[in-house]
Amino acid sequence: MEAAAEPGNLAGIRHIILVLSGKGGVGKSTISTELALALRHAGKKVGILDVDLCGPSIPRMFGAQGRAVHQCDRGWAPVFLDREQSISLMSVGFLLEKPDEAVVWRGPKKNALIKQFVSDVAWGELDYLVVDTPPGTSDEHMATIEALRPYQPLGALVVTTPQAVSVGDVRRELTFCRKTGVRVMGVVENMSGFTCPHCTECTSVFSRGGGEELARLAGVPFLGKCSKLVLGSRPPIPSLPWVGLTSVPPGPEGEEGMGAVSLSRRTTATCGSSTRALLKALYGHGWFGCVRFWPAEPMLGAGGADTAPPPPLCPAGSVPLDPELTRSLEEGHDFIREFPGSPTFAALTSIARRILDATPTCLP
Amino acid sequence: MEEVPHDCPGADSAQAGRGASCQGCPNQRLCASGAGATPDPAIEEIKEKMKTVKHKILVLSGKGGVGKSTFSAHLAHGLAEDENTQIALLDIDICGPSIPKIMGLEGEQYVEDNLGVMSVGFLLSSPDDAVIWRGPKKNGMIKQFLRDVDWGEVDYLIVDTPPGTSDEHLSVVQYLAAARIDGAVIITTPQEVSLQDVRKEINFCRKVKLPIIGVVENMSGFICPKCKKESQIFPPTTGGAELMCQDLEVPLLGRVPLDPLIGKNCDKGQSFFIDAPDSPATLAYRSIIQRIQEFCDLRQSEEENLINS
């Protein structure tokens, strides 16, 4: 039996964030990777611990396949991406002799390795450790949470896609979090929609509505939705709540938020009281960036095409399907550095900003 | 440095508890005592039960979210269109049982007269119930599904699996070992992030001597409903499933494009074939299903020839 866990290896880590989902393939590794890159962009030192033993995606996403893991006097040395050691990684992917080798282990053996991963990696000083998990609510998850519990993780980001099938699994993950005492920091809806590069039509490829429903079920903020206040057009059906619309030109971080607030004060004069209340509630929740919305209920009898919500002018938050993002992850590039003008960048950095805001500033 | 752990030699192998990779395994003492050496009696019982099941197909993928459950459901729907064929769909994804939702079932187990479904999802009282089980308990449930469900006369048993290469996969292969599985259909998407996990799954199949019927590349291209032009949402940066299949000498059964109606129908629990009979995705599915049927028929006649010769 191991001696009382050495305070050493995790003691230098300020905050631990888990990225969870009951469902596979929703983008946990993608969100973990991009969150780490965005946090680094914000000047933080970040580590990623990949506890997906059967499908370790993290090494490839950073272009670090084939890197070797070495021992040091405090345990395993993580793989550093750069000289400044701003991002460090640990994954079973680094330990496999052949990348196509399957890790066909039953639960008890997986538990043993995860315990080692958590306690024996010499992370050093980190601002954030992002823990990427496999899908499900089983051995790996229980082992990870048990091993991390003494270090009081900040919480979990729960990732879903818009479909009901995803929500069906991810709501079980919320129950898992409740039962294991993990705080859910928020819900991210990935693969929110695809904007055709040929005609800019935005299609909901994987259905819609999942992120909001999940956030509602969990009673947590929906981190993945930013919308845009757009002034100008008259509401098609006056009796339904509708916000006057205008476009807010995208600007550097703080200015975007302020622009939307002052506009909202002007627009509330022309909108119904229910909309005013809605706006107040929104800003009370600290929504930042642009705000866009459309009637909550579909407008019956008004015809499908006419009542489709206007395409997002500056979609931020809900992470859209983006082949450039996929390509960057395949090739191990830093999407955050390479595509700062894209809506996907805005969505990912807004999630990172939310994490930074939610991080307590006074340390124990 | 600790050696990288190799695969568990197996609880019933001669090396059980004694191999280098057994170091540190909590079951080491148990295995070394020889407790795992006797075969599980359930295997014979399952073989008996499976005598009335003609063809057994596993739907696998190393990767999550590629469309295993969607594919399993539509394979079942497609095969069940022939009223004279009895189809059973077994969902062994214990933590994330999607099949009930995709088939539109809240508790009834028959979608059509000739299409029955079993899933742990039916045993959960609330949609929020989480199944937080460790490996051994999951294995027990799978054993129960295979041994204790009265399958009756079934032409095709389709088994939908969770992502990965772990307890559930080992168990279903072990428990069905004596009953002969026709083969596995492996689902992937075009990106390398999926393919790298799928290669592991193919190696898993080879290791446990599970025949591979072929690979299906899902989400292969998206046709914009407005302008009808094609885009690659998940670019095949390393050649997609086609190149992987060539390299590993595995048949590519087909490519299914992304059709937003698939997701919508799964959410509603309906068959996509009914909603979009002319979609390129429907046509792709039908061609793949036909190839699977041909594979199963061929195996059956090969076996019969073997018995008769």
Q: Give contacts of A199 with chain B, Cβ < 8 Å.
A: 224, 226-227, 229
Return residue ranges of chain B for CATH 3.40.50.300.
41-306
Q: Do residue A138 and residue B238 have CB atoms under 8 angstroms apart?
A: no
Compute CA distances A47 → A79, A341, B159, whole Å: 9, 26, 38
Across chain B, which has 309 residues, the per-10-residue mean pLDDT values are: 47 66 66 66 88 94 91 95 93 86 77 85 80 83 87 92 85 87 95 90 92 95 84 88 95 94 89 91 95 93 82
State residue A7's pLDDT score.
62
One-letter identity of residue B124: L
Which residues lie below 8 Å from residue A226, measured CB to CB, with a gap of 6+? A287, A288, A289, A290, A291, A315, A316, A317, A318, A346, A347, A350
State residue A326's pLDDT score.
84
State residue B213's pLDDT score.
97
How many residues can be counted in chain B? 309
State residue B89's pLDDT score.
94
Given CB atoms, is B74 within the 8 Å cutoff of chain A?
no
The Cα–Cα gap between A170 and B294 comes to 37
Q: Do residue B263 and residue A61 have CB atoms under 8 angstroms apart?
A: no
Domain boundaries, chain A: 13-227+314-358
Q: Is B62 annotated as a binding residue?
A: yes
Using CB atoms and an 8 Å cut-off, which of residues 105-124 of chain B contact chain A? none
DSSP A254-297: HHHHHHHHHHHHHHHHHS-HHHHHHHHHHHHTT--S------SS
Q: In terms of CA atoms, which chain A residue is nearest residue B130? A: A172
Could you tell me how many CB contacts below 8 A there are between chain A and chain B? Answer: 227
DSSP chain B: -PPPP-----TTSTTTTTSGGGTT-TTHHHHHTTTT-SPPHHHHHHHHHGGGEEEEEEEE-SSTTSSHHHHHHHHHHHHHTSTT--EEEEE--SSS--HHHHTT-SS--EEETTEEEEEGGGG-SSTT------HHHHHHHHHHHHHHS---SEEEEEEE--SSSSHHHHHHHHHTGGG---EEEEEE-SSHHHHHHHHHHHHHHHHTT--EEEEEE-S--EE-TTT--EE-SS--TT-HHHHHHHHHT--EEEE--B-HHHHHHHHHT--HHHH-TTSHHHHHHHHHHHHHHHHHHHHHHHHHHHHH-
Q: In terms of CA atoms, which chain B residue is nearest residue A140? A: B134
State residue A112's pLDDT score.
87
Given CB atoms, is B203 within the 8 Å cutoff of chain A?
yes
State residue A19's pLDDT score.
93
The Cα–Cα gap between A42 and A352 comes to 9
State residue B24's pLDDT score.
65
The Cα–Cα gap between B193 and B61 comes to 12
Q: Do residue B163 and residue A135 have CB atoms under 8 angstroms apart?
A: yes
Q: pTM for the complete prediction? A: 0.75
CATH of B41-306, one of 3.40.50.300, 3.40.50.720, 3.40.50.2300, 3.90.600.10: 3.40.50.300
The Cα–Cα gap between A204 and A211 comes to 13
The DSSP call for residue A121 is B
State residue B167's pLDDT score.
81
The DSSP call for residue A18 is E
Residue in the structure block whose two tokens are 């997002």: A312
CATH code, A13-227+314-358: 3.40.50.300
The Cα–Cα gap between A359 and B62 comes to 35
ipTM confidence score? 0.74
Q: Give contacts of B206 with chain A, Cβ < 8 Å.
A: none
Contact B68, B161 (CB under 8 A): yes
Which of B203, B225, B258 is the closest to A102 by Cβ?
Answer: B203
Q: In terms of CA atoms, which chain A residue is nearest residue B66? A: A25
Q: Do residue B96 and residue A134 have CB atoms under 8 angstroms apart?
A: no
State residue B177's pLDDT score.
81
> pLDDT below 70 — which residues of chain A?
1-8, 221-317, 361-364
Q: What values do phi and psi take at A361, rounded to 5?
A: -85, -30
The Cα–Cα gap between A28 and A57 comes to 10
Q: Do residue A24 and residue B7 have CB atoms under 8 angstroms apart?
A: no
Q: Is B226 annotated as a binding residue?
A: no
Q: What values do phi and psi take at A132, rounded to 5?
A: -90, 130
The Cα–Cα gap between A336 and B50 comes to 53
Q: Is B25 annotated as a binding residue?
A: yes
Contact B106, B127 (CB under 8 A): no
